[in-house]
C-alpha cells in the first residue's frame, strides 16, 4: 500500500491486497500514518533549524462581490434544490441546471455580463454545489433519488460478443463497460522494462475511455494518465485471482461505453465475468464499488455514499474505490478532498463498501456462477509439456525446420522455453483443433521416446536390407532401429523376407546398446522359445553372423565396382 497524509489526516491510499478484512486495512493505514507523522516531525525540525521563507501572498482572480453572490444564491438555491430532489437522469438533470443558469444570466444586461459574467458563473456553481450537498446531508437523498447506501440497478450478460475468447457487459445505472478476453502463449506476455522492475506479465488489462462514453466528440490523442491509472487499479484487483498454473497469457480489454461514475469498478465487474466466460479458472469472482463522502465541518454532519455518480465525485469530499471477493479486499484507491477525515468515517465507509460490494458480487454470480469448464470451441486450447533438455534441438530441427513444418501441418503455435531451474524444455502447444494438438503431442512423444532395456515393443517393418530389417516403433513413429538378420529367428536365415516383409507388425525385445557394435539392439527371436539342443555354430573366421556380414560387405563392394 502507498499512503499519503498530513500530520492531521490521511489524504491518499492506493494498494493491492490478498483478501484482507476491513479491520486489517484500517490498522495498516493507522500504522502508516504514525510513521508519516514521524517524517513530518523531521521535516518541521529541519525547517526550524535552517529557517523558512516568507509565505507568499497570491492575488485572487477577479473581484469578490458579496451582494452579487447573495443575489445569485437567492435566485438559484431553491430551484437547484428542487431539480436535485426530483431524482432525474444525468441528461435531464444537466439540462435543467443549464436552464436555471441561463435564466439567471438573462436577468443581467449585456454590459453587466461583460463586466462580471465570470463571477455570475462562479457563484452559480457554488450555489449548485451547496444545494446538492445540503439535500444529501439534510434529507439523505441523492441526485438520482437513491438513499445513501443504495446501489444503482444492475444488469449483466456474458458471451456478449460470440467471436471473442470471452466477453461480458456490465451496466450499473448510467455506467456501462464491455470487457473482452484474449488467450495467448507466453510469446504474448507483456514485456516490462522499468528502472525498478524487469520481467513479464502473463495477465494484463487495458482500460479504454473513449470520448463518446460521456457524450463528447473530440480527437483521441493517445492513452491518458487517467486511463493508465484506472486500468492499473482494475488489473491489481483481478490479478491475484488468476491461478498460478494458468497456462495462458491473458489479456483483458475494457471498453467504457457509457460513464456516470465508477467506470473502473464496472471494468472490474465486467472483467471478472469475461474471464469466467473465457474458461479462465478464477479462484474467486471479484467485484468493485466506488464510495463517496459529503461532510460539513461546521455542523459535523456527514454522509457516506455508496456507488457514487460522476457529479457526486465532482461535488463530494472523497472518492474511495474498493474491490474484493466475498472473503476480503484485493485493491483500493482513495482520494480525500477535505482535511480531517476521521477513522470513524473511514471505518463506516469500508463497512458500507463491503455491503455494496457483496450485493454487486451476487448480481455477477447470478449471471455466471462459476468459470466455464473449458475454453470455447473457437478459442485456442493450450497444452504444456516438459521434455528433457537434450531433445529441444531435435524438436526445433536444423534452422527450425522441424518445428516450422509441424506448426504448418497441424495448424498450431508451438513455443519452446527453457526452465531456468531444471533446464528442461517447456513446450507450449496452442491450437483450436484437438487433432492438431494431438498430432504435435504424438510427434513430441516420438522424438523423446526412449525404450527401456528388457522391455518388449511393437514395431513395424519399414525397410528390407540384405542384413536385416529397419523397423519403426509403433508407439513412436519416426524412431527407427535395425533388426539384424541374426536376430530374426533361431534357425539360420538366408533371406530376411523368409521371416518378415514390408509392413509387417511384430514384437521385439530391446537390449540397449550392443557393446560390440555400439548400436541399439533389438531381437525378435528372443521372444521365441529356443529350440531344444540349439547350439550357435562357429567358424574359424568367427561366427556365422560375422561371415554373413563379410559376405554382405563383399556384395556391396561388387555393386560399387
Assign 3-class secondary structure to 73-123.
HHHHHHHHHHHHHCCCCHHHHHHHHHHHHHHHHHCCCHHHHHHHHHHHHHH
pLDDT exceeds cutoff 80 at 63:
no
Domain boundary, last residue among 448, 467, 490: 448
Residue 110 is assigned to a structural domain of this protein:
yes
Q: Tell whether 206 and 270 lie within a shared domain.
A: yes
Non-local CB neighbours of 167 within 8 Å, separated by 6+ positions: 158, 159, 160, 161, 178, 179, 180, 181, 274, 277
Q: What is the mean pLDDT of residues 513-522?
A: 86
Q: Tell whether 337 and 402 lie within a shared domain.
A: no
Bigger pLDDT: 448 or 180? 180
Q: Tell whether 406 and 444 lie within a shared domain.
A: yes
Bigger pLDDT: 149 or 558? 149
Q: Give the model's pLDDT for residue 114.
A: 87
pLDDT exceeds cutoff 60 at 123:
yes
Q: What is the mean pLDDT of residues 210-233?
A: 92
Q: Tell whether 131 and 209 lie within a shared domain.
A: no
Residue 36 is assigned to a structural domain of this protein:
no
Q: What is the mean pLDDT of residues 495-522?
A: 88
289 falls in which pLDDT band (50, 70, 90)? Answer: very high
Q: Give the model's pLDDT for residue 371.
A: 96
**CATH number (domain holding residue 122):** 1.10.10.400
544 falls in which pLDDT band (50, 70, 90)? Answer: very low
Cα 6 → chain centroid = 35
Q: What is the mean pLDDT of residues 491-515?
A: 88
Q: Tell whether 195 and 178 lie within a shared domain.
A: yes
Q: Tell whether 138 and 160 lie within a shared domain.
A: no
pLDDT exceeds cutoff 50 at 57:
yes
Q: Give the model's pLDDT for residue 542.
A: 40
What total of structural domains would you count in the chain? 4
Residue 28 is assigned to a structural domain of this protein:
no
Domain boundary, last residue among 400, 431, 448: 448
Residue 204 is assigned to a structural domain of this protein:
yes
Which span out of 29-43, 465-479, 541-555 was modeled with the highest average pLDDT? 29-43
Give 143-204 as a 3 state SS string. CCCCECCCCCCEEEEECCCCCCCEEEEEEECCEEEEEEEEEECHHHCEEEECCCCEEEECEE
pLDDT exceeds cutoff 70 at 550:
no
| Percent of the chain that is helix, strand, coil (3-state, to 5) | 40, 25, 35
Q: Give the model's pLDDT for residue 541.
A: 39
What are the pLDDT digits (tens) for 270-282? 999 999 999 999 9
Range of the domain at 549: 456-560
Residue 306 is assigned to a structural domain of this protein:
yes
Residue 245 is assigned to a structural domain of this protein:
yes
For the chain, the average pLDDT equals 89
Cα 522 → chain centroid = 51
**Residue 304 · residue 352 · CB < 8 Å:** yes
Q: Tell whether 125 and 162 lie within a shared domain.
A: no
- Least confident window among 95-109, 189-203, 281-295, 486-500: 486-500
What are the pLDDT digits (tens) for 344-357? 888 899 999 999 99
Containing H/E element for 383?
A: strand 381-387
531 falls in which pLDDT band (50, 70, 90)? Answer: confident
Q: Tell whether 419 and 463 lie within a shared domain.
A: no
520 falls in which pLDDT band (50, 70, 90)? Answer: confident
- Least confident window among 76-80, 271-275, 318-322, 430-434: 430-434
Q: What is the mean pLDDT of residues 179-199?
A: 91
**CATH number (domain holding residue 401):** 3.30.1370.10
Residue 48 is assigned to a structural domain of this protein:
no
Q: What is the mean pLDDT of residues 77-83?
A: 94
**CATH number (domain holding residue 535):** 2.40.50.140
**Residue 174 · residue 258 · CB < 8 Å:** yes
Q: Tell whether 305 and 413 lie within a shared domain.
A: no
Distance from C-alpha of 443 to C-alpha of 457, rounded to nearest angstrom: 18
Q: Tell whether 208 and 83 lie within a shared domain.
A: no
Q: Tell whether 461 and 404 lie within a shared domain.
A: no
Q: Give the model's pLDDT for residue 539.
A: 40
Q: Tell whether 345 and 306 lie within a shared domain.
A: yes
Task: Say which DSSP state 141 is in.
Answer: B
Q: What is the mean pLDDT of residues 536-550?
A: 47
What are the pLDDT digits (tens) for 433-469? 889 999 999 888 888 888 888 889 889 999 999 889 9
Q: Give the model's pLDDT for residue 125.
A: 93
Residue 387 is assigned to a structural domain of this protein:
yes
Q: Give the model's pLDDT for residue 543.
A: 45
Q: What is the mean pLDDT of residues 315-320?
A: 90
pLDDT exceeds cutoff 90 at 473:
no
**CATH number (domain holding residue 265):** 3.30.230.70
Q: Give the model's pLDDT for residue 297.
A: 82
Domain boundary, last residue among 448, 483, 504: 448
pTM for this entry: 0.79
pLDDT exceeds cutoff 70 at 62:
no
Amino acid at each position: 500500500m502507498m499512503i499519503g497524509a498530513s500530520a492531521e489526516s490521511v489524504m491518499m491510499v492506493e494498494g493491492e491486497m490478498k483478501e484482507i478484512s476491513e479491520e486489517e486495512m484500517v490498522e495498516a493505514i493507522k500504522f502508516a500514518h504514525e510513521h508519516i507523522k514521524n517524517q513530518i516531525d523531521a521535516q518541521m525540525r529541519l525547517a526550524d533549524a535552517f529557517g523558512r521563507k516568507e509565505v507568499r501572498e497570491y492575488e485572487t482572480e477577479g473581484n469578490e462581490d458579496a451582494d452579487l453572490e447573495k443575489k445569485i444564491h437567492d435566485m438559484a438555491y431553491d430551484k437547484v434544490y428542487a431539480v436535485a430532489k426530483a431524482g432525474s437522469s444525468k441528461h435531464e438533470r444537466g439540462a435543467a441546471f443549464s436552464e436555471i443558469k441561463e435564466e439567471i444570466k438573462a436577468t443581467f444586461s449585456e454590459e453587466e455580463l461583460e463586466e462580471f459574467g465570470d463571477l455570475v458563473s462562479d457563484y452559480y456553481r457554488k450555489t449548485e454545489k451547496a444545494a446538492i450537498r445540503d439535500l444529501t446531508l439534510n434529507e439523505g437523498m441523492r441526485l438520482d433519488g437513491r438513499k445513501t447506501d443504495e446501489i444503482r440497478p444492475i444488469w449483466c450478460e456474458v458471451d456478449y460478443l460470440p467471436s471473442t475468447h470471452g466477453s461480458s457487459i456490465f451496466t450499473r445505472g448510467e455506467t456501462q463497460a464491455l470487457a473482452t478476453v484474449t488467450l495467448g502463449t507466453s510469446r504474448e506476455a507483456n514485456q516490462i522494462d522499468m528502472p525498478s522492475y524487469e520481467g513479464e506479465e502473463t495477465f494484463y488489462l487495458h482500460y479504454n475511455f473513449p470520448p463518446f462514453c460521456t457524450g463528447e466528440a473530440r480527437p483521441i490523442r493517445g492513452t491518458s494518465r487517467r486511463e493508465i491509472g484506472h486500468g492499473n487499479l482494475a488489473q491489481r484487483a483481478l490479478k491475484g485471482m488468476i491461478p498460478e498454473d494458468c497456462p495462458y497469457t491473458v489479456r483483458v480489454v475494457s471498453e467504457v461505453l457509457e460513464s456516470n461514475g465508477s467506470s473502473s469498478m464496472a471494468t472490474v465487474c465486467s472483467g471478472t465475468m469475461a474471464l469466467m466466460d473465457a474458461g479462465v479458472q478464477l479462484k474467486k469472482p471479484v467485484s468493485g464499488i466506488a464510495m463517496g463522502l459529503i461532510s460539513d465541518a461546521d455542523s459535523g454532519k456527514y454522509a457516506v455514499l455508496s456507488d457514487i455518480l460522476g457529479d457526486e465525485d465532482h461535488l463530494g469530499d472523497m472518492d474511495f474505490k474498493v474491490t474484493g471477493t466475498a472473503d476480503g479486499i484485493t485493491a483500493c484507491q482513495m482520494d480525500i478532498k477535505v482535511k480531517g477525515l476521521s477513522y470513524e468515517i473511514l471505518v463506516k465507509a469500508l463497512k458500507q463498501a463491503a455491503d455494496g460490494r457483496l450485493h454487486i458480487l451476487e448480481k455477477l454470480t447470478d449471471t455466471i456462477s462459476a468459470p466455464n469448464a473449458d475454453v470455447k470451441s473457437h478459442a485456442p486450447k493450450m497444452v504444456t509439456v516438459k521434455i528433457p533438455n537434450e531433445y529441444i534441438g531435435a524438436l526445433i530441427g536444423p534452422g527450425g525446420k522441424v518445428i516450422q513444418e509441424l506448426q504448418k501441418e497441424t495448424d498450431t503455435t508451438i513455443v519452446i522455453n527453457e526452465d531456468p531451474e531444471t533446464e528442461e524444455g517447456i513446450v507450449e502447444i496452442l491450437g483450436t483443433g484437438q487433432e492438431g494438438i494431438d498430432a504435435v503431442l504424438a510427434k513430441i512423444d516420438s522424438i523423446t521416446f526412449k525404450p527401456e532395456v528388457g522391455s518388449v515393443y511393437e514395431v513395424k517393418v519399414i525397410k528390407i536390407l540384405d542384413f536385416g530389417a529397419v523397423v519403426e516403433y509403433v508407439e513412436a513413429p519416426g524412431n527407427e532401429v535395425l533388426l539384424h538378420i541374426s536376430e530374426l529367428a533361431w534357425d539360420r536365415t538366408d533371406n530376411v523376407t523368409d521371416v518378415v516383409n514390408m509392413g509387417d507388425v511384430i514384437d521385439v525385445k530391446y537390449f540397449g546398446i550392443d557393446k560390440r557394435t555400439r548400436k541399439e539392439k533389438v531381437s525378435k527371436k528372443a521372444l521365441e522359445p529356443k529350440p531344444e539342443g540349439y547350439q550357435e555354430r562357429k567358424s574359424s573366421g568367427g561366427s556365422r553372423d560375422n561371415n554373413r556380414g563379410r559376405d554382405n560387405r563383399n556384395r556391396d563392394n561388387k555393386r560399387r565396382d
